[in-house]
């Protein structure tokens, strides 16, 4: 269960951003969860209030949005979304030599702060 470590890291970064912006409070954090990770958005949301408590983040929410996977075919250069129906193969040439460009990361996309 590594969701908690992500939450701690994102909370630290959000606090730093809020301080930089001299924000009065933080409304929400937006986190993108790659569809090829095993991170469960509901756990991020579950841990967040505990981590936020007692900081400027208290009372804010953590929102998650899915980050679509993107694979680049090393045979023909085509970039595609891997589909289960095609066994995740390149739809242009049928090659399995794809390199994952996106979808394996969990990133803090946005921190929404309030200045009054």
Contact between 78 and Zn ion (CB under 5 A)? yes
Which span (12-20, 59-67, 68-76, 99-107) binds Zn ion, by CB under 5 A? 68-76
Single out the residue of 5, 20, 95, 105 in contact with Zn ion (rule: CB under 5 A): 95
Bridge-based pairing of strands 25-34 and 61-67 is parallel
Cα-based distances in Å from 40 to 11, 65, 91: 17, 11, 28
Helices 3-20, 41-52: axis angle to 10 degrees equals 50
For the bound state, the minimum distance from the C-beta of residue 41 to Zn ion, rounded and expressed in Å, comes to 31
For the bound state, the minimum distance from the C-beta of residue 45 to Zn ion, rounded and expressed in Å, comes to 37
Contact between 93 and Zn ion (CB under 5 A)? yes
Which span (38-46, 52-60, 84-92, 105-113) binds Zn ion, by CB under 5 A? 84-92
Q: In angstroms, how far is CA 97 from the centroid of its own chain? A: 25
Q: Residue 106: in which H helix or E strand, if any?
A: strand 106-114
Single out the residue of 16, 53, 76, 101 in contact with Zn ion (rule: CB under 5 A): 76
What number of CA atoms fall less than 13 Å from residue 98's CA on the CB side?
Answer: 23
Residues that bind Zn ion (CB under 5 A): 73, 75-76, 78, 90, 92-93, 95
């Amino acid at each position: 269960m590594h969701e908690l470590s992500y939450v701690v890291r994102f909370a630290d970064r959000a606090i730093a951003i809020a301080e930089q912006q001299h924000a009065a409070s933080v409304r929400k954090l937006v986190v993108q969860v790659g569809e090829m990770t095993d991170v469960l958005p509901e756990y991020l949301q579950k841990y967040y209030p505990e981590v936020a408590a007692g900081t400027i983040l208290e009372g804010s929410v953590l929102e998650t949005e899915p980050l679509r996977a993107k694979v680049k075919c090393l045979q023909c250069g085509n970039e595609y979304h891997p589909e289960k129906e095609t066994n995740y193969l390149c739809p242009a040439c049928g090659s399995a030599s794809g390199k994952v460009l996106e979808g394996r990361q969990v990133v803090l996309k946005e921190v929404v702060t309030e200045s009054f």
